[in-house]
Amino acid sequence: MSDASIVAARPSAATELVLLFHGVGASAANLLPLAEAIAAARPAAFVVSVEAPHPSGLGSGREWFSVLGVTEENRPQRMAAALPRFRGTVARWQRESGIGPDRTTLVGFSQGSIMSLESTQSGEPPAGRVIALAGRFAAPVRRAPAAVRYHFIHGSDDPVIAARFSVEAAEAIGRLGGSASVDLLPGLGHGVDARAAQLALGYLA
């Protein structure tokens, strides 16, 4: 890869692929501690912290789509425009690792979780598991593929993306017959703390 994505682990005989996607205004380095923790706990995992493709309109870091002037009405369109490149990025790492969608996990934080979640809403799901940290769907849940397990981890005090989005998404997936869990962490704002990291590691086990 020619981008600034960071490979945290590249085992010679990988049996699973874990891709981490950071939030807007951040970079692959921001999720590297979590990526390294996953690599240590899952020695057969090919682990990559993926760099988003565009400079952020916030003045630093990267993004998949602009959040300047974003609204509930225009977010789905912005996400949809970015989704082909996102799916292509997942597919490139699957080719490089030799791992298919059924053994791929997408771990997203904030905008990274929006992209990860929405990638399961059309076409063949690119992964068998999505772990959404402080995230949400761009639009109400439309489908719950049987092959995908969803795990929502959210700070109860998140001022950026309200925790109710995770709760509502998990409930909607359940109503559609899918598999979803939700963990709300008291006192956590818009971030990933040790509790969230441990929950994510647990869902990979």
Domain limits of the chain?
6-204
Nearest in space to 44 (alpha carbons), one of 95, 10, 5, 90: 10
Q: Which residue intervals of the chain are DSSP H helices?
A: 32-41, 75-97, 111-118, 164-175, 194-204
SS3 for 201? helix
Out of 54, 181, 183, 190, which one is annotated catalytic? 190
Active-site annotation holds for 156: no
User: Both tokens of residue 40?
Assistant: 């240590």
Known active-site residue 158:
yes
What sign does the dihedral 22-23-28-32 (CA atoms) show? Answer: negative
* Tokens coding 2: 């020619």
What pTM was estimated for this model as a whole? 0.96
Q: Is the dihedral of CA 62, 136, 141, 120 positive or negative?
A: positive
Nearest residue to 78 via CA among 45, 110, 115: 115
3-class DSSP assignment, residue 179: strand
Q: Which of 110, 113, 116, 166 is catalytic?
A: 110
CATH class of 6-204: alpha beta
Q: How far apart are CA 120 and CA 101, in angstroms?
A: 11
Select which of 113, 119, 158, 166 is catalytic. 158
Q: What is the pLDDT along the chain (205 residues), one digit of tens a residue?
A: 347 999 999 999 999 999 999 999 999 999 999 999 999 999 999 999 999 999 998 889 999 999 999 999 999 999 999 999 999 999 999 999 999 999 999 999 999 999 999 999 999 999 999 999 999 999 999 999 999 999 999 999 999 999 999 999 999 999 999 999 999 999 999 999 999 999 999 999 8
Please give the Cα distance from 112 to 21 (Å, whole number).
5
